[in-house]
Chains A and B, each alone.
Chain A
């Protein structure tokens, strides 16, 4: 046992990082939070609509078990089930905790927490603070961490960038290499454990709903250092965003949760003012096609439907690839109270008031279900051992990942309002395991020779010196834009192998051109150019992980839609038939005539496809390329079955 406080370095000041920081301080640990900019400004603030917890405040018969089922089904059964179950069961306690910390959650007439609906569920399960829930949750956790900083339990290194892990001769992570973004100094922070809570990689696509810092560089650096990266090809495209030159701004799913309706004029290229188009001349395509879930089908489904309407049926508004998201039937007071944040964003960026006019929206890259491969420790019942050092550990011992940077909670498609939950859950849950991990080590970081740290620091110092010397013809920001264009054109909602092969070639070209990049600024004070070039290098590698994973996965699952491998579910199919089929199979008598025509054949194909593809994609860095293998998924609690939302 060590005679000092256990110390961890947390990279990232979003929900996952801050939740862990708070919990670790509470357990008497010593925390350093490294943040690319001031705390309070992380991408988590962009989350709008809410956070899920099955508290059943509306007496609908909701339960954590149903939340678990919806999450697994929404993710097309690709997530490890015990872990997701644990998250859903912890969710009510997490909401109550955030409420106690002062989050201004909307409340009911009696003063309890109010809940609204979100996609992929039929229950009012989403707690919310107006339409800026992420911001409010970040502030509450930030305040707790700030209080710990005030009391001397934690330190914040703002304006610092993570460059890489310090690995000892056994490959164990013993600290982090840090870059001071103002002074340009590069140094190491020795630690008992390092946690990457660095968010998602939306910048790989150039413009997305993500923030500027979401380059995925930290996670990619871990991959380049030997960590496994999992399910990279599963990128969520959010159905509703608005255009911009710098970013695509999200219009929360809560707009539909509160009654927003998606439609296009029934007559293509009908250029009338939308308010003048009568009801019977409007095509509410989601409501017509999915009478059960209506506008609240999961995001992968909604995005594909919008794609179909605007490209295959050419019914986009004014001939543009856009559809209406309509809230004009709701009162201004209602909208200001429950959706004020997004009402303001839409008004400020488009000059049109969505309280009076239907919003014009289209899909945008939003979230990565994939991320660093992380582990979890089961207990003797096959559920989660909260004290296991394996929890959230990457394949590099001592290096952990949490939040969007890890892959474990959302399978092939994330349900709305589950991301805030998974971030806070992982942060809180992993603290005990890290404590136990540090106890389990034979050698503490204090016994590691200083040369290990010197080598790591020198490696990065040399790397940055070399970057500053780059004096080629390519502008790194321009190259980044081109990388984004390749990804948007080929690795998006509808995928096919020809385009994916094309993308692979184009990314390789960009990788070659990267060698000819010019470092635009070589000064040594507050100079973002060298960091950006290093991030661009990481984004190129990450785009290869995403593209290769997508190319190899010849199936249709969740957000990964390859029409060539669609199993074409019969229109009148009922998922319960599949459970029946499996039972009959178990008893050895499948009666062909028991199922409607074509169903048995479909179910057999579905079963075969799952045997082949219901697997985690695992990428490892080998010969400058991602080497892809597949791992089993723990489906021990709910039998995987076809999804259906009508």
Chain B
């Protein structure tokens, strides 16, 4: 199509009027207010942690990420000392990648959805405590990813060539799987879990949820027993203390306690079956 109306005349916004993408809506309501932060920092693994205070200008719609970006633009503490910018992990900034998990005012959550207007100041930022700190607010969550391998959280396909349609499945089953499959491996459930520690081998709710997710799939269920065996040993499902905090902190509202209960049942049957068969 070709434009024919006023737009095709291409008049430009009046001088000084920002484009919508330039955040006009945001900037015109700027004030002199400040946001105060207390950030727990650590230079490298094993080195001592320390706290630093920062202040950034208040802006509407600001979240933790945009404030950390402000600190990058002016890495000076509240006391006026120039320091290295705070480091943290993030990527998508809309709570689908799972990267920016940290402890904000004592609560584990994603930094992107933590809007400043809803937080009490000074805002305290800490790295998660159940994973080794890499630097500042960055932690190493590779243990969670290793667990995905332990429980074979995938479907063994015959190959990626064209062999036609997948299995027919009721939409209600799909919906059940979909909720579980939104897990971003973000670590919230792990951080909140009293059973999981830096030194033990407990797998955690996210991993059990993956077992249930794949066991529920028609093709995935063919490797059901392997997955169940993997969560029946040390660090497995029986170590769960049933504290039920995992489900409270899950940003995706995944029914983690249901998953744990279900995997508990599945492993019980598997246990009996193993006794009879092996």
Contact = CB atoms under 8 A, between A and B. Distances in A.
Contacts of A337: 175
Interface stretch (B5-13, B192-200, B233-241, B268-276): B5-13
A568 B4 contact: yes
Contact of B174 (A105, A475, A568): A105
Contact of A523 (B13, B24, B84, B167): B84
A41 interface: yes
Given A182-B134, A362-B20, A146 B43 contact: no
17 contacts: A40-B184, A46-B92, A104-B181, A129-B178, A146-B149, A147-B152, A244-B63, A245-B63, A304-B7, A307-B7, A344-B95, A489-B19, A520-B85, A563-B9, A566-B2, A570-B4, A643-B1
Interface string B87-114: 1011111111111000000000000110
Contacts of A570: 4
Contact of A45 (B63, B96, B170, B181): B96
B37 to A, nearest CB: 15
B168 A644 contact: no
Interface stretch (B155-163, B242-250, B257-265): B155-163
Given A348-B113, A496-B10, A525-B44, 6 more contacts: A41-B91, A104-B178, A136-B181, A312-B9, A321-B19, A349-B63
A149 B149 contact: yes
Nearest to B72: A477
Nearest to A323: B20
A111 interface: yes
B157 A101 contact: yes
A146 B151 CA distance: 11
Interface residues of A, number: 120
A111 B169 contact: yes
A135 B182 contact: yes
Interface stretch (A165-173, A246-254, A616-624, A628-636): A246-254
Contacts of B112: 246
A247 B1 contact: no
A356 to B, nearest CB: 19
Given A26-B159, A478-B73, A492 B168 contact: no
Given A143-B153, A523-B84, A100 B166 contact: yes
Contact of B19 (A134, A136, A488): A488
B217 interface: yes
Interface of B: 1-13, 17-26, 43-44, 59, 61-63, 65-66, 69, 72-75, 84-85, 87, 89-99, 112-113, 115, 134-135, 138, 141-142, 145, 148-149, 152-157, 159-160, 162-171, 174-175, 177-178, 181-182, 184-185, 214, 217, 219-220
A529 B166 contact: no
A212 B111 CA distance: 14
A45 B97 contact: yes
Contacts of A569: 1-4
A195 B178 CA distance: 32
Nearest to A76: B1
A107 interface: yes
Given A147-B152, A308-B7, A102 B2 contact: no
A387 to B, nearest CB: 14
Closest 9 pairs between A and B when the two form their complex, measured CB to CB: A563-B10, A569-B2, A308-B7, A99-B166, A245-B66, A143-B154, A321-B20, A104-B178, A521-B84
B94 A46 contact: yes
A494 interface: yes
Contacts of A428: 160
A371 interface: no
A305 interface: yes
Nearest to B18: A489
Nearest to A134: B96
B93 A107 contact: no
A96 B157 contact: no
Contact of B177 (A104, A213, A244, A313): A104
Nearest to B62: A245
A365 interface: yes
B10 A529 contact: no
Contact of A477 (B19, B69, B87): B69
Contact of A322 (B20, B87, B134, B152): B20
B96 A312 contact: no
Given A101-B157, A139-B181, A146-B149, A523 B43 contact: yes
Contacts of B95: 344-345, 348
A46 B91 CA distance: 10
Interface in A340-357: 341, 344-345, 348-349, 351
A37 B23 contact: no
Contacts of B3: 304, 556, 561, 563, 566, 568-569
A444 interface: no
A646 B1 CA distance: 8
A341 B138 contact: no
Nearest to A39: B145
Contacts of B174: 104-107
A207 B19 CA distance: 13
A210 B166 CA distance: 32
B92 A43 contact: yes
B152 A46 contact: no
A93 B159 CA distance: 12
A97 B145 contact: no
A644 B2 CA distance: 7
A563 B99 CA distance: 42
Contacts of B169: 107, 111
Given A100-B157, A102-B155, A520-B85, A38 B4 contact: no
Given A99-B166, A130-B178, A525 B219 contact: no
Contacts of A644: 1-2
Contacts of A478: 73
A38 B145 CA distance: 9
Nearest to B44: A525
Nearest to B183: A139
A82 to B, nearest CB: 20
A212 B90 contact: yes
A144 interface: yes
Contacts of B91: 37, 41-43, 211-213
Interface in A116-137: 129-130, 132, 134-136
Given A243-B25, A321-B20, A312 B6 contact: yes
A364 interface: yes
Nearest to A490: B19
Contacts of A607: none
B149 to A, nearest CB: 5
B153 A146 contact: yes
Q: Which of A211, A493, A643 has the most CB of B within 10 A?
A: A211
Contacts of A26: 159-160
Interface string A182-216: 10000000000000000000000101100111000
B31 to A, nearest CB: 14
Contacts of B85: 477, 520-521, 528-529
B23 A207 contact: yes
Contacts of B154: 101-102, 143-144, 146-147
A313 B6 contact: yes
A528 B138 CA distance: 12
A557 B232 CA distance: 61
